[in-house]
Amino acid sequence: MYYIVETGKSFDQASADLETAVKRNGFGVLHVHDLGSTLRSKGITFEEQCKIFEICNPGHAAKVLANDMRLNLALPCRISVFTEKGKTMIGLIKPTQILSALSQDAALAQVAKEVEEITIKMVDEAK
């Protein structure tokens, strides 16, 4: 269900490299949620770092939405860079797993497979 890799890079370097890999692979970064900073700004003690990158490829998104508009609830894709016990990790929930829980449509399964291959490639490039 998950694809998570450890990297020897710093949190900041892995985050920058992920953003570069996303763009290089034809996706755009719609927003970056700095979850660690947000929690700390609310007075919550949170020692780890976590950035959630919302990414999208308009062509893939349009195929999904043309088939079933309800699937907008599963968009955009997310890739996270986070720290855990001193290690920097990059990961995602596999799109094929998410979509298979929401639809049995073969055409959508193919789109999810394509997106999964590309997003895993992004993670590997940022690693």
Of 100, 58, 89, nearest in space to 75 by CA: 58
Q: What is the CATH number of the domain that holds 75?
A: 3.30.310.70
pLDDT class of 35 with cuts at 50, 70, 90 = very high
Distance CA 28, CA 20 (A): 10
Q: Is the peptide bond before 76 cis (omega within 30 degrees of 0)?
A: yes
Q: Please give the average per-residue pLDDT across 40-51, as a whole number.
A: 97
Query: What is the count of structural domains for the chain?
Result: 1
Helix (H) or strand (E) holding 27: none
Helices (H), the chain: 11-24, 35-41, 58-67, 95-102, 106-126
pLDDT class of 126 with cuts at 50, 70, 90 = very high
Length of the chain: 127
Tens digits of residue pLDDT in 77-92: 999 999 999 999 999 9
Distance CA 82, CA 39 (A): 14
Q: Does the predicted model carry a pTM greater than 0.85?
A: yes
Q: What is residue 2's predicted lDDT score, i.e. its pLDDT?
A: 97
At residue 108, the 3 state secondary structure works out as helix
Tens digits of residue pLDDT in 95-112: 999 999 999 999 999 999
Tens digits of residue pLDDT in 2-30: 999 999 999 999 999 999 999 999 999 99
Taking the CB of residue 45, how many other CB atoms lie within 10 A of it? 6
Identify the domain containing residue 18 by its residue range: 2-126
